[in-house]
């Protein structure tokens, strides 16, 4: 009579042992306490649910509409201030405050509690009509010792407006810019008021990249393909505005020596990859065809010869082709557009799953794009702050490791883990 009971006891013991082992293994597969779970893709669908404008096919899998991902870390979003007026560019000062350009031609300092300074004197006149104004801004890598600031703006000149780059020293009392010099002017000038490009960023060697738009109209956009014009380009200059020795078009007949890449439409985003040191760029397409490009020296990115967008009328651009020998493909494109503007790579430790991800302000899309990039390919996309109904113009990382974004409606956001 005792034998069956003993057998049942052994069976129950085995079941309990196996169950405990399985539970223990399951616990070991979870992240350690205090570490966020890694970003995981959702069902495999894209974040974009609207139909594309065109029937064009991507050149490779994953070039558009990549699988959506979700940040697993709990994120807190704070409005630092909503009292800015059409801010366009933001740069982080060594003490954690921000230098911010407002489109109308004002440069201000904003601290972490949202206090905004009076406009800093000494900024040259801008043409703020249309898409013009005081545009991108960056600090000299040696700002702590030389206090030099660099910025891009739409300059009214004889013959029309230009995308120009200036520099000046922020005074000790922070009320003015001293010894202001316009170090670069794009060519040719044009009387239009759109597509200035306008970002500036230093490369790891201390030279300056600047983006210029092709000025939008049919009479100028073809010059994005011309190496004798500097509109529709990425240029590389030194701190005095001179072409950098070794630029890729140096010595070519008729070519401007400051050119670094050509064939761009309206490039409003520039950022240096924190690992490779390479330049990445975003630009507006027409109706569809917004692009993310990994900029290679001397490369031609195709506009307006090749594009994944259509004319605003819905007709093809020129011959309606998307590929041509000798022209580089975008790493990623959007159709419909999101209107990508300023961007930054995340280098912080606050949200480990964001490390080396690219964050881009989206204007018409009214969100912040988050892209996971692996081996120079986009592997996941997320839309952040999509419920804020804001046109995100620029984004950067603060000294505290949080992200800070400005919007056309005048807000400065702080985005950080809880």
The answer to whether residue 273 is catalytic is: no
255: its two tokens: 């070519």
How many other CB atoms are there within 10 angstroms of residue 294's CB atom?
18
Within the chain, how many helices (H) and strands (E) appear?
Answer: 3, 25
Residues 72 and 37: beta-carbon distance below 8 Å? yes
Identify whether the C-beta of residue 271 lies closer than 8 Å to the C-beta of residue 192.
no
**Distance (Å, rounded) from C-alpha 201 to C-alpha 394?**
13
Residue 165 burial (C-beta neighbours within 10 Å; 0-12, 13-18, 19+): buried
Residue entry with tokens 């003993």: 6
Question: Which of 195, 264, 284, 367 is the catalytic position?
Answer: 195
In angstroms, the CA 382 to CA 390 distance is 16
Q: How far is CA 65 from CA 35, 333, 337, 361, 372, in A?
A: 29, 8, 12, 18, 13
Task: Provide the pairing of β-strand 160-170 with 177-185.
Answer: antiparallel
Which token pair is 386?
A: 């999509």
Q: Dihedral sign, CA of 193, 197, 202, 205?
A: negative
- Euclidean distance between CA atoms 93 and 87, whole angstroms: 17
Residues in the chain, how many?
418
Distance CA 360, CA 349 (A): 19
Separation of alpha carbons 331 and 327, rounded Å: 13
DSSP 203: -
Structure tokens at 186: 């794009």
Phi, psi of 369 (to 5 degrees): -80, 130
Q: In 10 A of CB 401, how many CB atoms?
A: 14
Please give the structure tokens belonging to residue 302: 């195709």
Q: How far apart are the first and last CA of the chain?
A: 62
Catalytic sites, residue numbers: 195
């Amino acid at each position: 009579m005792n034998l069956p009971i003993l057998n049942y006891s052994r069976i129950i013991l085995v079941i309990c042992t196996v169950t405990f082992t399985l539970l223990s293994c399951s616990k070991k597969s979870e992240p350690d306490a205090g570490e966020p779970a890694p970003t995981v893709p959702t069902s495999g669908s894209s974040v974009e649910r609207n139909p594309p404008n065109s029937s064009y096919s991507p050149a490779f899998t994953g070039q558009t509409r990549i699988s959506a991902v979700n940040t697993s870390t709990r994120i807190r979003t704070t409005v630092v201030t909503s009292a800015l007026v059409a801010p366009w560019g933001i740069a982080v000062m060594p003490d954690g405050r921000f230098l911010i350009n407002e489109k109308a031609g004002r440069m201000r300092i904003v601290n972490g509690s949202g206090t905004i300074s009076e406009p800093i004197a000494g900024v040259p006149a801008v043409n703020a009509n249309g898409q013009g104004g005081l545009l991108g801004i960056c600090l000299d890598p040696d700002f702590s010792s030389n206090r030099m600031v660099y910025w891009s703006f739409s300059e009214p000149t004889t013959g029309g407006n230009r995308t120009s780059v200036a520099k000046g020293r922020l005074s000790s009392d922070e009320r003015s810019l001293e010894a202001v010099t316009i170090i670069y002017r794009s060519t040719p000038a044009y009387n239009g008021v759109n597509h200035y490009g306008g970002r500036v960023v230093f490369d790891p060697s201390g030279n300056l990249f600047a983006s210029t738009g092709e000025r939008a109209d049919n009479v100028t956009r073809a010059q994005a393909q011309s190496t004798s014009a500097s509109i529709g380009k990425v240029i590389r200059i030194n701190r005095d505005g001179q072409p950098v020795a070794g630029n890729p078009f140096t010595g070519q007949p008729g070519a401007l020596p400051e050119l670094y890449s050509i064939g761009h439409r309206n490039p409003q985003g520039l950022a240096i990859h924190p690992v490779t040191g390479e330049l990445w760029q975003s630009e507006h397409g027409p109706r569809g065809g917004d692009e993310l490009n990994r900029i290679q020296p001397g490369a031609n990115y195709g506009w307006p010869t090749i594009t994944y967008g259509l004319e605003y009328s819905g007709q093809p651009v020129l011959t309606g082709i998307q590929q041509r020998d000798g022209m580089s493909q975008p790493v990623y494109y959007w159709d419909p557009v999101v209107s990508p503007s300023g961007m930054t790579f995340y280098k912080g430790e606050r949200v480990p799953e964001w490390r080396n991800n690219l964050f881009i302000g989206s204007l018409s899309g009214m969100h912040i794009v988050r892209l996971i990039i692996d081996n120079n390919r986009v592997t996941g996309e997320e839309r952040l702050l999509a419920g804020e109904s804001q046109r995100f113009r620029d984004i950067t990382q603060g000294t505290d490791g949080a992200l800070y974004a400005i919007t056309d409606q005048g807000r400065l956001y702080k985005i950080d883990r809880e």
